[in-house]
Structure 1
Amino acid sequence: MDKSLSSTKEEMVHVELVNTDDYISKLSNDLLLEILSNLSTEEVIRTSVLAKRWVNVWKKTSHLCLDMRKIAKATTLLPGVSHQAANSVTKVINDHCGHLERCTIYHDSRQCENGMLQFWIQSLVNVKHTMDLTLGNFSPGLKSNNRSNVTLDFPPRSFSHPSLTSLSLSQYNLKAPHVFYDCWNLKNLKLIGISAEVEVFNAVLVACTSLEVLALEITCHRKDGILKIDNHNLKFLYLSCSRIKGVEVSSPSLDILSIGSLSCKMENFIIASPRLHFNRNYWATGKFFPHTSYYISCPHQGEASIGHEIMMNGSSDGMKMFASMSVSVDLTNAKEVKMLKQVLAAWPGDMQEVEILFKSNNAARKESESSIGNTQNTFWEDTKPFPSAQFRAYTVWLSNFSGSNEEFALASRMITQGTVARCMMIKPSSVSPAKKLEIEAAIARLKELPKGHENLRIVMS
């Protein structure tokens, strides 16, 4: 046989082997689902046409995001188009056959009127046992302040299945609370752009007894009632309330209170939460900047800090431009200092003011707590900016200042590294005359330091 012909044949065989060997399709379903988890739902569903091996893989993905708003960008959502899009959503939900951890649906208001949304909720909650459900109405053609006119009126206990632990609703009107009856299962509830009578909101909150995270961006129909939040499990609370006469909060476990906007007066805001005792609040600056109060505490071994995770995820409703924050921290605890650094460094822009309230450094350490939890001297010798080179606050308040080495180290780094731009207000702890002289000496030393901002003022209040 001609050698050149033999060589060409071998090359053809080699090329054929390379082109037809599909290594990805040979992976297990678990690995394929891990790959698909990085894609959008639309891209995940499209993989079903790749080959026979892929036809049913997408049906076991753990997350679905069905967004009809994407259709609105290409069309005015005429009734026929809306109906077709809704049918596509229904087909995806029906075809999915795996464990559905999270599902997000942004829909046209028509699905509230024709019963389609109720069918989706029934299927997702009671049949597929979805754990995390997000529903948003975008009402094409309506202005944003009119979107909540679409009424959410479903059968009682629609969200009470034990598997459902997280629920987010956006842009609806609630006429009655019965849809939330017996919702002890919910640990995370977000009501964004929701309008109702204040009595309806109160009834909803009474029905949700196990909440750990609550975000309310709501409008009351009439400004004649008091919003009442009484929950012993609550860790994180965000409030932005319009047409509200007053707010009463009773949550002994609350670590974080974030206020975006409140229409009530300060004297009509009553909070019973022993951890959140700060000198600064939403009303303190006189400019009504969004304000977050954060009591930093380390969770037990193996547990997560729910509030801290929300603050760190970058999408917290409390993270607003030109906001203010009050933080309580033990500077002798390295874990708490790390959490303080993380949450400040994650802030999206310059902060109007920060209050750092120092916990008592004389608290006895628990016998079970190892020395790893305590800050080492080298921690404060780190030359990197605290909390980061990008973070800056116009005013920093240091409350309960005792002049300890850790407090002085933190204050000096903020001064010299330009963390505080305009003013550092130091509020001493209530101490004896001798201790007062020691604190005054520490403040005098701070004033002598080179400043990151030339016009920075350091004042003892």
Structure 2
Amino acid sequence: MDKSISSTEGEMVHVEVINTDDYISKLSNDLLLEILSKSSTEEVIKTSILSKRWGNVWKKTPCLCLDMRRIVKTTTLLPGVFHQAANSVTKVIQDHCGHLERCTIYHDSRQCENGMLEFWIQSLVNVKHIKDLTLENFSPGSKSNNRSNVTLDLPPRSFSHPRLTSLSLSQYNLKAPHAFLVCWNLKNLKLIGISSEVEVFNAVLVACTSLEVLALEITCHRKYGILKIDNHNLKFLYLSCSRIKGVEVSSPSLDIISIGSLSCEMENFIIASPRLHFNRNYWATGKVFPHTSYYISCPYQGEASIGHEIMMNGSNVCMKMFASMSVSVDLTNAKEVEMLRQVLAVWPGDMQEVEILFKSNNAARKESESSIGNTQNAFWEDTKPFPSAQFCAYTVWLSNFSGSNEEFALASRMIMQGTVARCMIIKPSTVSPANKLEIEAAIARLKELPKGHENLRIVMF
């Protein structure tokens, strides 16, 4: 604070007194850890030199991100630095003494000699009891499909600790499935840039019986086998598979399947999932655009929709410009309509096409949804663009169109507010001759509406 004092000549002199109390260091460890959670692991560890008070605080952070990409990039001419960086990672893991929830390690293949990678996995999984583990191998300047020069040949049950629920591996050769034996603990598995034999992948998937989220970006050594995914708990599936002869998916609980790229033909892709039956799919666009099929459903009260959370946080790599999407929604259920709006609104760019398949409004609903789920008239009277002013699809398919008030309201908003740019294709539901006249009348009214895009065509399929 400022203070005023008198000098010998009677002049007033202003002196600023600086308060040197370190209030931050006086906070509890929980609050300090909350502050540190906003910083990188490198910055967090550096706080240990601030004072004795800060010396061990970082060791209790619940999340570690050990990123050696920057170190390797700036020291490519000093091979010894690779091993020093690996030793530093080992020391950080060993020194950490708190409750560790999540750890991410980006490493170079040269940092995994002499069993170093195996030691990290053993320490994190079986000693630290990590819940969420991400390991990514990288090589600066290499193409993504040429980086898998680290072969994982780990001891049996390396990933089978009951506390480990989420595992992500990137850019490795997988020699055998032994590390995944009895992996009932895993709920979330991502294998990105992984190469192996199709039998190894199938053995891994058989061992992981409790998966709810599965992302596979894989390359098979030989194009002869069938990838088999049989899991009754699976909610979200992403596939991008090269050198694969076919895929068989059996998952009655599956809400979302995203296909980035598949080398097999449509007749060799078999899916047994009662919810995911759409008129449009990955092959309908000529295997040009990634495609996502999404059956929108409201979870039980108090539960989260796993697939919807993935779509909303951008974890679905198919969410990109010019992708295509099929969604199934009940327009009489406000929750489902809002989930549709949310997903389309967060899409990162223009969509090539979107198919909206209307569920039967007469389908039985759960008792908990019967009243609170019903849409209100005010929802359709809202003048805001649907789903947002930024979203645009070149082609919109409206499947199972019955001409209901909700369907007409949604279609009219898309037409007038510029949501659909080139063509709206309406595929009527199977109805009686009397209802056919009603549907045709609704489509005629849609064609008469002012259009957000002048050259928009509205056709009946």
TM-score range relative to shorter protein: over 0.9
Question: Does the aligned pair in 1 maintain the 2:356–2:399 contact within 8 Å?
Answer: yes
How far the C-alpha of 1:223 sits from its partner, in A, is: 0.4
Q: Residue 130 of structure 1 corresponds to which residue in structure 2?
A: 130
Q: What whole-Å deviation, never above 9, does each CA across 1:38-61 have from its counterpart, x for those lacking one?
A: 111111111112222111111111
| CA deviation string 1:144-202 (max 9, x = no partner) | 32211320111011000001000000000011111111111000000000000000000
Alignment of 1:310 with 2:333, yes or no, is no
In structure 1, C-alpha distance between the alignment counterparts of 2:48 and 2:7, rounded to whole Å: 41
Q: Equivalent residue of 2:215, what SS? A: strand
Deviates more, 1:358-367 or 1:138-147: 138-147
Q: Paired residue for 2:385?
A: 385
Aligned to 2:256: 256
* Inter-CA distance 9–52: structure 2 relative to 1 (3 Å threshold): farther
Residue 21 of structure 1 and its aligned partner are, at CA, apart by 1.2
Task: Report 1:43-54 matches (<5 A).
Answer: 43-54=43-54
For residues 93-132 of structure 1, the aligned pairs below 5 Å read 93-132=93-132
Name the counterpart of 2:6: 4
Partner of 1:57: 57
Aligned to 1:344: 344
Aligned to 1:168: 168
For structure 1, which segment, 346-355 or 368-377, has the greater mean C-alpha deviation from structure 2 after superposition? 368-377
Matched residues in 2 for 1:282 and 1:112: separation? 39
Deviates more, 1:298-307 or 1:103-112: 103-112
CA offsets 1:222-247 (integer angstroms, 9 cap, x no match): 00000000000000000000000000
* Cα distance in structure 1, aligned partners of 2:368 and 2:339: 21
Distance 1:309 1:367 in 2: 24
Shift of 1:320: 2.3
- Give the drift of 1:23: 1.3
Distance of 2:430 and 2:143 partners within structure 1: 53
RMSD: 1.8
Equivalent-residue separation in structure 2 for 1:103 and 1:267 (angstroms): 41
Q: CA deviation at 1:216?
A: 0.3
Per-residue deviation, 1:11: 7.3
1:245 aligns with 2:245: yes
* 1: CA distance, partners of 2:74 / 2:173: 28
Partner of 2:69: 69
| Letter aligned with residue 328 of structure 1 | S
> In 1, distance between residues paired with 2:309 and 2:388?
19
Equivalent residue letter for 2:215: A
Secondary structure of the corresponding residue to residue 367 of structure 2: coil
Given that residues 173 and 196 in structure 1 are in contact (C-alpha distance below 8 angstroms), is that contact kept between their aligned partners in structure 2?
yes
Displacement of 1:140: 3.8
Q: Secondary structure at the match of 2:169?
A: strand
Alignment of 1:96-245 (within 5 A): 96-140=96-140, 142-245=142-245
What code does the residue aligned with 1:95 have? D
- Is residue 2:85 matched to residue 1:88? no
Q: Is residue 369 from structure 1 mapped to residue 372 from structure 2 by the alignment?
A: no
Q: What residue identity is the alignment partner of 2:211?
A: L
Task: Give the TM-score normalised by structure 1.
Answer: 0.96
Distance change >3 Å, CA 358–CA 370, structure 1 → 2: closer
> C-alpha deviations, 1:60-82, integer Å up to 9, x for none?
11110001101123121632000
Is the alpha carbon distance of 1:287 and 1:224 closer, same or farther for their aligned partners in structure 2, counting shifts above 3 Å? closer
SS state of the match for residue 343, structure 1? Answer: helix
Q: Distance in 2 between matches of 1:208 and 1:362?
A: 38
Contact 1:112/1:152 (8 A) holds in 2: no
Number of the residue aligned with 2:319: 319
Structure 1 range deviating more: 219-228 or 370-379: 370-379
1:15 corresponds to: 17
Structure 1: gaps spanning 5 or more residues: none
Q: Assess if the C-alpha contact under 8 Å between 1:71 and 1:77 holds in 2.
A: no
Task: Check conservation: 2:133, 2:168, Cα contact below 8 A.
Answer: yes
Query: Which of 347-356 and 43-52 deviates more?
Result: 43-52
Cα distance in 2 between the residues matched to 1:335 and 1:294: 15
Q: Which amino acid letter does the alignment assign opposite residue 4 of structure 1?
A: S
- Residues 336-383 of structure 1: CA distance to partner in whole angstroms, max 9, x if unpaired? 001000000111000000000000111234333352221100001111
**Quick one: structure 1 residues 189 and 370, their matched pair in 2 at CA, closer, same or farther if it must change by over 3 Å?**
same
- The residue aligned with 2:402 is 402
CA shift at 1:387, angstroms? 0.3
CA distance in 2, matches of 1:369, 1:292: 26
Counterpart in the other structure of 1:292: 292
TM-score (norm 2): 0.96
Residues 1:9 and 1:182: Cα distance change in structure 2 (over 3 Å): farther
Residues of 1 paired with 2:365 and 2:189: CA distance? 35
Compared with structure 1, are the counterparts of its residues 332 and 77 closer, same or farther at alpha carbon in structure 2 (3 Å cutoff)?
farther
Q: 1:153 to 1:77 in 2, by over 3 A?
A: farther
One-letter code aligned to 1:361: N
Secondary structure, aligned partner of 2:445: helix
Match of 2:460 in 1: 460
Gaps of 5+ in 2: none
Contact 1:112 1:151 in 2 (8 A): no
Instruction: Describe the shift of the 1:8–1:216 C-alpha distance in structure 2 as closer, same or farther (beyond 3 A).
Output: farther
Whole-angstrom CA distance in 2 between matches of 1:8 and 1:301: 73
Q: 1:247 to 1:9 in 2, by over 3 A?
A: farther
- How many residues of Structure 1 are paired with residues of Structure 2 in the alignment? 457
